[in-house]
Amino acid sequence: MKKLLKEIRMLDIKFLREDFEILEDSLKKRGTKLNFSLQDLKDLDQKLKYLRTEMSNLRESQNKLSKEISVLKKDKKDATELVEQSRNIGDEISRLAENERGLDSQFKTLWYQLPNILLSDVPFGSDESQNVAVNYCGEPKDFDFDVIPHWDLGKKLGLLDIERAGKVTGSRFSFHIGFGARLVRALLNFMMDMHRSDGFVELWPPYLVNEASMYGTGQLPKFRDELFKCADDPYFLIPTAEVPVTNFFRDEVLMDSSLPVRFCAYSACFRREAGSYGKDVRGIIRQHQFDKVEMVVFCRPEESLNELQFITEQAQKVLKKLKLPYRVIELCSGDLGFSSAKTYDIEVYMASSKNYREISSCSNFTDFQARRANIRYKPKDSKSRYVHTLNGSGLAIGRTLAAIYEYYQDDEGYLNVPDVLVPYVGTEKIGLTTC
């Protein structure tokens, strides 16, 4: 752990040393409650600076002594006293270095608990009830029959089996069957094809990552309880493709001419959903294993606000092509994710409950992840700088499927297939199928 903490970077230290008020204000707006004070961090930082200055001065003295000893020995003179002085200085440097390592570990353990700094235009609010709806697209149609919830329709048509998945694995897992499985694959291919045609480079990432990767994107240390960890190997199952794709460039310096880099990736995702017991227990809205297409962007700092708009529009484009009503929500300060500086959520209309549910989250992380993962770029005639990273769901496949089941059913008990998916599925209408 000590070695890992030494290798992983963090939030820009200037917020503690030079812009303390900005850091303090951001934490207050988020409603973040720390188990330590920011003054503790400042004190640790000052102690570290003092120790490092002392060690630097001692090394300078030791180097000076080494030169003097070299001269004496060259002239065949006694250097015993200076050698002893140098040895004593070396012992003191070792003692201070041990103290420095301990203080540095303490500092980073606390520092990694600090969330990203909010962008100044993030609306203030204490929780999700104060998020701001910025756009509605598509007027939900009126049904002249009672809409069947997706879990019941999926079971009725032989497309979805949650009970058998519970037998095979446990709660919050599912089998997709026949045309149900084909619809999952159709959504995956449709989304990846669309993003690729719009300039994203396709990646197929590993589903297991190491601890450094989880620190790099901000899942660790805060969200350890949400992760599935291998018992006998140093790997975690990914909660989203954001983790492996963002870490693709960890500890690298990108060429300025290569930016922006835009990746899209499909992956299965694995989340323990700790603390969510009782929420969305029916259906496929909240599961331990689900599928998602992710967009990840690396760009210059001055481009990241435009890139956030771009990936948000890209996620909306999927829903527009599927002709599903949705709305765009700007998250308030109290509902913003740990690593994000600004986020838009996209919520799709669920016809059975006549409400909107999150289907995509598009975030600008500024340089927060880049600092932790050490991802830089080299502008022309300038020293290297940290990139800005962004990501957005494009989209969550299970939730998209649930919305289609509910919005595209008819009064005869059939499921109509969205036009853009017909070439992938091979039929326009799905009736009762059997395994």
Integer Cα distance of 108 and 128 in angstroms? 30
Helices and strands (H and E) in the chain: how many: 14, 17
| Residue 227, pLDDT above cutoff 60 | yes
Q: Put the strands of the sheet holding 252-255 in their side by side order.
A: 252-255, 375-378, 385-386
Residue 305 lies in a domain: yes
How many structural domains are present in the chain? Answer: 2
In the predicted structure, residue 8 carries a pLDDT above the cut 50: no
User: Is position 117 within any domain?
Assistant: no
In a domain, 116, yes or no: no
Output the pLDDT for position 6: 37
- Under 8 Å CB-to-CB from 128, ≥6 apart: which residues? 331, 332, 335
Q: Distances in Å between the alpha carbon of 383 and those of 152, 188, 410? A: 59, 41, 61
Residues 78 and 214 in one domain: no
From residue 35, give the alpha-carbon distance in Å to each of 65, 329, 388: 46, 31, 29
> Which of 182, 357, 372, 399 is labelled catalytic?
399
Bridge partner list, 252 = 375
From 26, 267, 361, 393, active-site residue: 361
Judgement on whether residues 279 and 420 belong to the same structural domain of the protein: yes
Residues 220 and 320 in one domain: yes
The domain that holds 93 is classified in CATH as 1.10.287.40
Tens digit of each residue's pLDDT (9 = 90 or more) over 134-176 = 999 999 999 999 999 999 999 999 999 999 999 999 999 999 9
Q: Beta 252-255 vs 208-210: how paired, if at all?
A: unpaired
Task: Let me know if 282 is exposed, middle or buried by CB neighbors in 10 A (0-12, 13-18, 19+).
Answer: exposed
Mark whether 86 and 187 lie in a shared domain. no
Q: Tell me, yes or no, whether 99 and 132 share the same domain.
A: no
What are 81's two structure tokens?
């006293």
- Cβ atoms of residues 183 and 176 within 8 Å: yes
**DSSP state for residue 409 in the 8-state scheme:** B
Query: Domain for residue 121, yes or no?
Result: no
Query: What's the mean pLDDT in 314-330?
Result: 98
CATH number at residue 413: 3.30.930.10
Average pLDDT of span 171-185: 96
- Taking residue 422's Cβ as centre, other Cβ atoms within 10 Å add up to 14
| Candidates 286, 300, 327, 385; catalytic one | 286
Per-residue pLDDT of 384-429, as tens digits, reads 999 999 999 999 999 999 999 999 999 998 999 999 999 999 999 9
Of 71, 86, 111, the residue at which a domain comes to its end is 111
In this structure, the answer to whether residues 380 and 242 fall within a common structural domain is yes
What is the extent of the structural domain holding 107?
A: 2-111
As a three-state string, the secondary structure of 290-328 is: EEEEEEEEEECHHHHHHHHHHHHHHHHHHHHHHCCCEEE
The one catalytic residue among 224, 272, 358, 385: 358
Determine whether 286 is an active site residue. Answer: yes
Q: Specify whether 283 is located in the same domain as 387.
A: yes
* Domain end residue (candidates: 66, 82, 111): 111
pLDDT given at position 1: 38
What pLDDT was estimated at residue 274? 61
Q: Are residues 318 and 188 in the same domain?
A: yes
For residue 370, pLDDT beyond 70: yes
| Residues 85 and 166 grouped into a single domain | no
Nearest to 294 by CA among 326, 268, 323: 268
What's the token pair of residue 205?
Answer: 């990432």
Examine the domain organization and report whether 354 and 384 are in the same domain: yes
Span 50-78, pLDDT tens digits = 999 999 999 999 999 999 989 988 888 88
The two beta strands, 252-255 and 375-378, are: parallel
User: At 2, is the pLDDT very low, low, confident or very high (cuts 50, 70, 90)?
Assistant: very low
In a domain, 64, yes or no: yes
Is 361 among the residues known to form the active site? yes
The H or E element that residue 264 is part of is strand 261-270
> Is the pLDDT reported for residue 95 higher than 50?
yes
Among the three residues 77, 111, 145, which one is the final residue of a domain in this structure?
A: 111
Is 123 contained in some domain? no
Determine the pLDDT at residue 7: 35
The three-state secondary structure class of 11 is coil
Q: What are the respective helix, strand and coil percentages of the chain, to the nearest 5? A: 45, 20, 35
Amino acid code (one letter) for 126 = S
- Same domain, residue pair 306 and 248: yes
96 and 227 share a domain?
no
Please tell me which residue in 172, 250, 271, 376 is annotated as part of the active site. 271
Q: Residue 264: what are its φ and ψ, rounded to 5°?
A: -125, 145
Instruction: Tell me: pLDDT of 43 over 80.
Output: yes
Indicate the average pLDDT of the chain.
93
Is the pLDDT at 34 greater than 60? The verdict is yes
Please write the tens of the pLDDT for every residue from 326-360.
999 999 999 999 999 999 999 999 999 999 999 99
Bond from prior residue into 260 cis (ω within 30 degrees of 0): yes
CA distance 158 to 180: 8
Q: Output the pLDDT for position 18.
A: 86
What is the per-residue pLDDT for 382? Answer: 87
122 in a domain, yes or no? no
Examine the residue annotation and report whether 185 is marked as an active-site residue of this protein.
no
**What is the Cα gyration radius of the chain?**
27
Condensed to tens digits (0 to 9), the pLDDT of residues 271-310 reads: 998 655 556 668 899 999 999 999 999 999 999 999 999 9
Q: Parallel, antiparallel, or unpaired: how do β-strands 289-299 and 388-396 relate? A: antiparallel
- Residue 279: the pLDDT is 64
Sign of the torsion formed by the C-alpha atoms of 423, 424, 425 and 429: negative
- Per residue in 373-386, pLDDT (tens digit) is 999 999 988 899 99
Mean pLDDT within 191-208: 98
With respect to residue 401, please indicate whether it lies within any of the assigned structural domains: yes
